[in-house]
Amino acid sequence: MDAVDAVELPPLLPEPAASELRLEAVMAALAEPLRMTIARKLLLHSDEFDHPCGWFGFDRPKSSLTHHFKVLREAGVIHQRQYGLERRSRLRVEDLNDRFPGLLDLVAATESR
Amino acid sequence: MDAVDAVELPPLLPEPAASELRLEAVMAALAEPLRMTIARKLLLHSDEFDHPCGWFGFDRPKSSLTHHFKVLREAGVIHQRQYGLERRSRLRVEDLNDRFPGLLDLVAATESR
């Protein structure tokens, strides 16, 4: 077991299984511009680590951000783990590519606004 | 000019130009299950003609259907023309394929419910 495997991650917050993902729900989550931006940023600029919401640099109230991340998680777009007081997020790239091939290409190609 | 060209179609109802289509708006329109079904049915079963809303066979109040078709038109998913008292719809296949390659493949692959 190497150093990376030895890291104990907090458990995932509740989320749908890959087999339960529905295109309508994923589209509803991504239809909101800030949430689309979150998904695109995780897709294009993220490394292998979970990202706290401060990483995104949004000038929005924390309660609003918490809500948007939760919508993304409940639709199956992101994983979230609780690190102490903070939730960190990661895009479900494999699950989304498996269930909805081409969707993340569309997200990547969307203009930032 | 052949017989098809000679047919005078009613003008298109107001809609965004292809260059104005936004992925978030298209996803918001398709995120509603009935609207997803409308788009999928037009994609998979439609011929070259505009379809009145009775063609879809939905058991919903007309006012509700009118609303959903309007949302699809205003997001740029369908064209609509007014034929007397009736509006008929057609999917904007070329515009959607041009702006959002792969999107209609996802719509086609969505399970009916």
Pick from B93, B111, B96: which is nearest to B33 by CA? Answer: B111
Tell whether A86 is covered by a domain.
yes
Q: Within a domain: residue A67?
A: yes
- What's residue B1's pLDDT? 45
Better pLDDT: B3 or B18: B18
Does residue B80 belong to any structural domain of this protein? Answer: yes
What is the total count of domains within chain A? 1
Give a yes or no: residue B6 inside a domain.
Answer: no
Terminal C-alpha separation, chain B: 43
| pLDDT value for A51 | 80
Q: Which residues of A touch B23 (CB under 8 A)?
A: 30, 36, 106-107, 110
pLDDT digits (tens, 9 = 90+) for A66-85: 999 999 999 999 999 998 88
pLDDT in tens, A10-36: 999 999 999 999 999 999 999 999 999
| Whole-angstrom Cα Rg for chain B | 14
Please answer whether residues A5 and A69 qualify as being in contact, where contact means their C-beta atoms are separated by less than 8 angstroms: no
- Report ipTM (2 d.p.): 0.84
User: Residues of B with CB below 8 A from A110's CB?
Assistant: 23-24
With an 8 Å Cβ cutoff, are A33 and B27 in contact?
A: no
Inside any domain, residue A7: no
Residue whose structure tokens are 């109802």? B13
pLDDT tens, B81-109? 998 888 899 999 999 999 999 999 999 99
Q: Which residues on chain A are in Cβ contact (under 8 Å) with B30?
A: 23-24, 27
- Give the model's pLDDT for residue A1: 45
Nearest CA in chain B to A34: B24
Optimal mutation site among A20, A21, A23, interface B, most CBs of chain B within 10 A: A23
Contact state of B23 with A32 under an 8 Å Cβ cutoff? no
Q: Do residues B77 and B92 touch, judged by C-beta distance below 8 A?
A: yes
Q: Looking at mean pLDDT, say which of A62-71, A83-92, A94-103 comes out highest.
A: A94-103
| Closest in A31, A33, A106 to B31, CB measured | A31
- Amino acid at position B47, single letter: D
Element (H, E) at B13: none
Q: Tell me the residue range of the domain where A76 lies.
A: 20-109
User: At B79, which CATH number?
Assistant: 1.10.10.10
> What is the structure's pLDDT at A6?
56
The answer as to whether A5 is a domain residue is no
Assess if residue B89 is contained within a domain.
yes
Measure CB to CB from residue A24 to each of B23, B33, B101 and give the nearest one: B33
Q: Are B107 and B36 in contact (CB under 8 A)?
A: yes
Contact B43, B35 (CB under 8 A): no
pLDDT above 70: residue A113: no
pLDDT band at B5 (very low <50, low <70, confident <90, very high): low
Contacts of A33 in chain B (CB under 8 A): 24
Kindly state whether residue B104 falls inside one of the protein's structural domains. yes
pLDDT confidence band for A8 (50 / 70 / 90): confident
Alpha helices in chain B (DSSP H): 3-6, 23-30, 33-45, 62-75, 93-99, 103-109
A55 pLDDT band (50/70/90 cuts)? confident
Please state, in angstroms and rounded to a whole number, the distance separating the CA atoms of residues A69 and A89. 8
| Contact with chain B for residue A20, Cβ under 8 A | no
